[in-house]
Copies of this chain bind each other. A is one copy, B any other.
Amino acid sequence: MTTEQQYNVAVVGATGAVGVKMLETLEQKNFPIKELLLLSSKRSAGKQVEFKGNTYTVHEATPESFEGVDIALFSAGGSVSKKLAPEAVKRGAVVVDNTSAYRMDPEVPLVVPEVNEGDIQQHNGIIANPNCSTIQMVAALKPVQEQFGLTRVIVSTYQAVSGAGNEAVDELRNQAKSFLEGEEMQADLLPVSGEKKHYPIAFNALPQIDVFQENGYTFEEMKMINETKKIMHDEAIQVAATCVRLPFFTSHAESVYVEVNNGGVTAEQLKEAIKRADGIVLEDDPENQVYPTPLEAAGKSDVFVGRIRKDLDNEKGFHLWVVSDNLLKGAAWNSVQIAESLIKNNWLSK
């Protein structure tokens, strides 16, 4: 950031898995903060959090909390956003919301800056941060769409437990420990907190992320389908998704199959396009066993892409393997990028 101006920033959900990464990212990117306000539910209020060497007390988020706030980064669950984001906007803040509350609202831009930064400008006080699994995929698909036309996406995900919060991280750790000690695994949370049934995630795979919809798809799958079309500005792209939770802590991986519009495209051309794209790192050298993995991507802001191959039976089909830290590019970093863009482009005030 080159601006001299500084801003009052509120982080709502400051003690959650994403909130913690939000603060790390704000610090690391040296975001121009005048005053930092850490907010949470009543339950977490009173906790102490470090930021740039100072200790901050977390306060309970109320409508009045947002007086004087310029930018509010929300990641405290959809119901908190539904209730408090309009209150923040009413008091003059611009909200970057990292829940599903407003993503499909036609009045709310849904933004991955590398893909549709310009949409931010249309905001009415709220900009939605897409679902983690969507963000990394559309970032990788953008150069494909731009250069070759994108008609179809079929994705199967490999998603980390941190996407379900800190308690899910603890659950995987505890279950793995129990299993290795020959004890029974205790399953109280995954696949979905609050659901009737829970299954062990350690040394297992659960084909359910978020609750089931009436059409047999999970909400996570529907997010990928609907958000992709909205972000990429093309309702005609066919998107099919299967989302699976797996026993690793950080980074989602995705096996993405795409069909392009143009014939005669080579895997080399696709690699070249991916390589030149913003925010994407091409890691694709089979001969030297170079490809992205969740462990390697953890802690990094970029989206990593490898295993790019042309379908052997279909002239327009290609495979990509897309990996990114679900808490960074999938959440905190993308939100901070949106906030940076608001400032850089003078889009804060309407």
Query: Which residues of A come within 8 Å of B, CB atoms?
Result: 154, 156, 158, 173, 176-177, 180, 191, 195-197, 199-200, 203-208, 212, 215-217, 225, 238-240, 242, 244, 246-249, 253, 255, 257, 267, 286-289, 291-295, 306-309, 311-314, 317, 319, 321
| Residue pair A217, B312 in contact (C-beta under 8 Å) | yes
For the complex formed, measure the closest distance between the CB of A67 and the CB atoms of chain B, giving whole angstroms: 44
User: Using Cβ atoms and an 8 Å threshold, which residues of chain B touch A286?
Assistant: 212, 216
Provide the bound-state CA to CA distance between A156 and B307, in Å: 13
Provide the bound-state CA to CA distance between A154 and B153, in Å: 11
For the complex formed, measure the closest distance between the CB of A66 and the CB atoms of chain B, giving whole angstroms: 38
The closest CB in chain B to the CB of A311 belongs to B240
User: Using Cβ atoms and an 8 Å threshold, which residues of chain B touch A292?
Assistant: 207
The closest CB in chain B to the CB of A308 belongs to B216
Provide the bound-state CA to CA distance between A200 and B247, in Å: 13
User: Using Cβ atoms and an 8 Å threshold, which residues of chain B touch A288?
Assistant: 196-197
| Residue pair A205, B311 in contact (C-beta under 8 Å) | no
For the complex formed, measure the closest distance between the CB of A26 and the CB atoms of chain B, giving whole angstroms: 27
User: Using Cβ atoms and an 8 Å threshold, which residues of chain B touch A255?
Assistant: 156, 207, 242, 244, 255
For the complex formed, measure the closest distance between the CB of A255 and the CB atoms of chain B, giving whole angstroms: 4
8 nearest A-B residue pairs (beta carbon): A156-B156, A156-B255, A238-B313, A212-B286, A204-B295, A203-B248, A216-B309, A242-B255
User: Using Cβ atoms and an 8 Å threshold, which residues of chain B touch A295?
Assistant: 199-200, 203-204
| Residue pair B215, A293 in contact (C-beta under 8 Å) | no
For the complex formed, measure the closest distance between the CB of A285 and the CB atoms of chain B, giving whole angstroms: 10
User: Using Cβ atoms and an 8 Å threshold, which residues of chain B touch A321?
Assistant: 207, 242
User: Using Cβ atoms and an 8 Å threshold, which residues of chain B touch A205?
Assistant: 158, 246, 248, 253, 293-294
For the complex formed, measure the closest distance between the CB of A23 and the CB atoms of chain B, giving whole angstroms: 24
| Residue pair A257, B240 in contact (C-beta under 8 Å) | yes
| Residue pair B203, A247 in contact (C-beta under 8 Å) | yes
Q: Which of B239, B249, B314 contacts A240 (CB 8 A)?
A: B314
| Residue pair A319, B240 in contact (C-beta under 8 Å) | yes
Provide the bound-state CA to CA distance between A23 and B176, in Å: 30
21 A-B contact pairs sorted by A residue (CB < 8 Å): A158-B246, A191-B289, A197-B288, A199-B295, A203-B248, A203-B294, A204-B294, A205-B293, A207-B255, A207-B292, A207-B307, A212-B287, A216-B307, A217-B312, A238-B311, A240-B257, A240-B312, A242-B257, A244-B255, A246-B247, A247-B247
